Amino acid sequence: DIQMTQSPSSLSASVGDRVTITCRASQGISNYLAWYQQKPGKVPKLLIYGASTLQSGVPSRFSGSGSGTDFTLTISSLQPEDVATYYCQKYNSAPHTFGGGTKVEIK
């Protein structure tokens, strides 16, 4: 099965900082990658699908890029409401494995 590796596992940044989270697939998955945000005590929310398509209603400071095995989620200007754990997920074929998550905090 394809493994999904996220890095870093956690990060602390200041409000306004540019934040980048990386997700690496152990084999190519084309652009079948989604990014989710899960705030503490809340349900996961889809941010990006198709590696780079922003889900409707998601702020434009979020963006995704990549294809094949290497993907990136970028928050262009970190806001206090972005404190959450972020997960990538492959969905090209089963199993639809998630990455281990990246916890984002405010410095």
Partner 1 sequence: EVQLLESGGGLVQPGGSLRLSCAASGFIFSSFAMSWVRQAPGKGLEWVSGISGTDGNTYYAESVKGRFTISRDNSKNTLYLQMNSLIAEDTAVFYCAKHRSGIAASGANYWGQGTLVTVSS
The number of beta carbons lying within 10 Å of the beta carbon of residue 79 is: 12
If one asks whether residue 62 binds partner 1 (CB under 8 A), the answer comes out as no
Rg (CA), the chain: 13
CB of 67 to partner 1, least distance (A): 15
Task: Choose, by CB under 8 A, the member of 2, 46, 54, 106 that binds partner 1.
Answer: 46
Question: Does residue 52 interact with partner 1 by CB under 8 A?
Answer: no
| Of residues 67-96, those binding partner 1 (CB under 8 A) | 85, 87, 89, 91-96
Sign of torsion, CA 65 106 44 100? positive
The one-letter code for the residue type at 22 is: T
In the numeric block, which tokens belong to residue 49? 């699908």
| Pair of tokens at residue 68 | 């094949």
Q: Under the rule (CB under 8 A), what is the footprint of partner 1?
A: 1, 32, 34, 36, 38, 43-46, 49-50, 55, 85, 87, 89, 91-101
